[in-house]
Structure 1
Amino acid sequence: MTYDLARRALFLLPPETAHEVALEGMRLLLRGPLASWMRSRVPNSPREVMGLTFPNPVGLAAGLDKNARYIDALGSLGFGFVEVGTVTPRPQPGNPKPRLFRLPKAQAIINRMGFNNLGVEQFIANVEESRFAREGGILGLNIGKNFDTPVEKAADDYLFCLRRVYPHASYVAVNISSPNTAGLRTLQHGDAFDDLLARLKAEQARLADQDGRYVPLAVKVAPDLTPEEVTTIADALRRHRIDGLIATNTTLSREGVEGLPHADEKGGLSGAPVFARSTAIVRQFSQALAGELPIIAAGGILSGADAQAKIDAGASLVQIYTGFIYRGPELVREIAATLAASAPARSDGVAL
């Protein structure tokens, strides 16, 4: 009820303004005893994925905290892991405003933010100020390319960011699937994909040897893939021994929002309308990968039942973003409780 009232007030503001106000409010409020109480409401249900032990399988997807300013506040809500970014080598303003649109009747959002961020140096400075990872939290750092870097040189941007974020990350997410940076999704295909994965894995091996710590790599893909593209991507992920897959990003489809205000805005659609499409992609990847690497599912999760459907489709973990906007912190608790109740456990208490 409390979040319902807050959401109604926030939805009176322009979406991007509301986003900033909400994050600042969380940063100011979620400290000390209140933060501890919020975390205590979310049941533990550990999962071993990518060689990491996640306190529970509910994560925050990248995009909410692009500059890593609110890691501790978000972590206090009981998330099993928090992913921040997408960050690029150089600061960039993103696309012109307005670039974020609510579709409340569909419990959806359209965005064309365009990787707006303060650049990797400020991003790392903010990560270093946070306590979440130092206190045992699982922190994903999501990397991308600058909008003006030619696609044929995109790997250089990803490698630059990987080197900078590696010492600070629990895992690194490679975002090649945002629809809001021109040409980015072409990196999911063909020789460009193979070259990017090969170079990332070689750099990961070098950094692991240098730092004495192996940091997993997860690749984030789009929901707008054909079955043939799923098979090709899965083969490349296995061939290059990538550690995890995040499925999926936002969709260019407008199925389920036809005729609604803002439905024709350019950008990626997220929220309830993408649930079926994203879950189908998770299921296809699960079959194609045959358990050789884990899947983190995102896309349209607005209830515990939605999250369970992603797990049933083959995911090991889930992430929320738009559902969190519409449902608030209660959604974290609901999903964690649902998945804890359904998970078989080993003798050491870690869910299988």
Structure 2
Amino acid sequence: MYDGLYKHFFSRVDAEQIHQLSISLLAGAGQFAPARSLLATTFSAHPTFPPINLWGKTFAHPLGLAGGFDKDARCLPALESLGFSFIEVGTVTPQPQPGNLTPRLFRLGEDSALINRMGFPSAGMTTLAQRLTNRANINILLLISLGKNKATALMEAVQDYTAVLNALYPFGDGFVVNISSPNTPDLRKLQTREYLSDLLSQLTQTIRTLAHDQSPKPLLIKIAPDLEWAEIDDILDLALQFGIAGIVATNTTLQRSNLKSIYQTETGGLSGQPLRQRSTEIIRYIHQHTEKKLVIIGVGGIFTGEDVWEKLSAGAALVQVYTGFIYKGPAFVKQALNELETRMRQSGITRYEDIIGIK
């Protein structure tokens, strides 16, 4: 059914209009228990292996939703009903901002990819805090992506990130420092040692203060796939120095290789199948060079259970999907998890954790 809708309707309408329609439908469905129950009955995954324990939290299975889909946390109950084990909301900025001019989202169907130049459209941290104050219908684990406003100078970016962390700390189970989007001018410079050292110092100190006598919530760094290995080494060194919990690998790429779509020349970050190999290479590199001291969340080109297996076996403990979810539809998690667990049984593996870094 979804394939037919995509072929005859979704593929012919502006990508962002379809996205906003999807968000509105999911937000509406999430307000009603019968609708949530129907979604769960129809689409939710049913893991048959033990859950994953990380940071004092229990993840039902490895598949989560990447940041950027539900930027303003409008449809968490419905997304939970679709079977994700965790969701990353945002990226959230201190002040509301509209993001870049439209059109800014493009489907590259021939390439199983997306290009976006959204530019952190955000309702702002105050609206997010109000929306997340009542999580009565939300039990899913929640990561919150931290960002800066476009108007904020790079030298003042630390204040933006710490402001969002302060405002939303009570509501997240973990936080992702997004310094790798290609769609905010100069943002990726924050990945350099010059800026990143101070940023991580301030954020980790803020978390220690907010945690009081509780265990600090995990802080992760989301990195770009276009970095050189030496640049990744610098990030890993700082992550270990400041006790960062993990790395999200990776964000979208600026590279364009062997694409077929007419949209291939659009500016912005490319996600989906063309990113799969590079993100897996980086996951494997991080796993091998940090002696398993950092948790890795793998992102990039996940469309099947075999793709999940690839990311986990390279060293990821969890994975996030976005483009694959757009193309495959609401049954994606159920299908991918079934495929992953079939592969596990064929390999004689009985725990998700046992896949991590096996090759």
Give the aligned partner of residue 190 of structure 1.
Answer: 193
Give the aligned partner of residue 54 of structure 2.
Answer: 49
CA distance in 2, matches of 1:80, 1:56: 6
| Match among 166, 171, 193 for residue 168 of structure 1 | 171
CA distance in 2, matches of 1:40, 1:271: 23
Aligned residue pairs, count: 344
CA distance in 1, matches of 2:108, 2:22: 18
CA drift of 1:289 comes to 1.4
The 10-residue stretch of structure 1 (335-344 or 106-115) with the greater mean CA deviation from structure 2:
335-344
Q: TM (normalized to structure 1)?
A: 0.93
Give the aligned partner of residue 153 of structure 2.
Answer: 150
CA drift of 1:236 comes to 1.0
Equivalent position amino acid for 1:200 in 2: L
Indicate how the Cα distance of structure 1 residues 44 and 177 shifts in structure 2: closer, same or farther if over 3 A, else same. farther
Equivalent position amino acid for 1:37 in 2: T
Contact 1:78 1:333 in 2 (8 A): yes
Give the aligned partner of residue 144 of structure 2.
Answer: 141
Give the aligned partner of residue 262 of structure 2.
Answer: 261
Equivalent position amino acid for 1:277 in 2: R
CA distance in 2, matches of 1:290, 1:100: 38
Equivalent position amino acid for 1:152 in 2: M
Summarize deviations over 1:248-307 as a string: whole Å, max 9, x none. Answer: 0000001131x5311111100001011111111111111111100110000111111111
Indicate how the Cα distance of structure 1 residues 214 and 345 shifts in structure 2: closer, same or farther if over 3 A, else same. farther
Summarize deviations over 1:310-337 as a string: whole Å, max 9, x none. Answer: 0111000000000000011222112223
SS in 2 for 1:256: coil
Gaps of 5+ in 1: none
CA distance in 1, matches of 2:65, 2:265: 27
| 1:56-95 alignment runs, 5 A limit | 56-95=61-100
SS in 2 for 1:191: helix
Summarize deviations over 1:74-103 as a string: whole Å, max 9, x none. Answer: 111000101110010000010111111111
CA distance in 2, matches of 1:160, 1:126: 17
Summarize deviations over 1:47-97 as a string: whole Å, max 9, x none. Answer: 122332111110000000111111111111000101110010000010111
SS in 2 for 1:312: helix
CA drift of 1:40 comes to 4.6
CA drift of 1:225 comes to 1.2
| 1:146-295 alignment runs, 5 A limit | 146-209=149-212, 212=214, 214-257=216-259, 260-295=261-296
Percent identity at matched positions? Answer: 41
| Match among 35, 40, 47 for residue 39 of structure 2 | 35
Contact 1:50 1:244 in 2 (8 A): no
Contact 2:176 2:219 in 1 (8 A): yes
Contact 2:44 2:334 in 1 (8 A): no
CA distance in 2, matches of 1:10, 1:110: 16
CA distance in 2, matches of 1:280, 1:256: 19
Equivalent position amino acid for 1:14 in 2: D
Contact 2:108 2:114 in 1 (8 A): yes
Equivalent position amino acid for 1:334 in 2: Q
CA distance in 2, matches of 1:228, 1:178: 19
CA drift of 1:213 comes to 5.0
Gaps of 5+ in 2: 355-359
Equivalent position amino acid for 1:7 in 2: Y
CA drift of 1:117 comes to 1.0
The reply on whether 1:112 has 2:114 as its aligned counterpart is no
Contact 1:230 1:284 in 2 (8 A): no
Contact 2:27 2:78 in 1 (8 A): yes
CA RMSD in angstroms, aligned pairs only: 1.8
Give the aligned partner of residue 311 of structure 2.
Answer: 310
CA drift of 1:190 comes to 1.4
CA drift of 1:44 comes to 5.0
Contact 1:48 1:351 in 2 (8 A): no
CA distance in 2, matches of 1:57, 1:206: 30
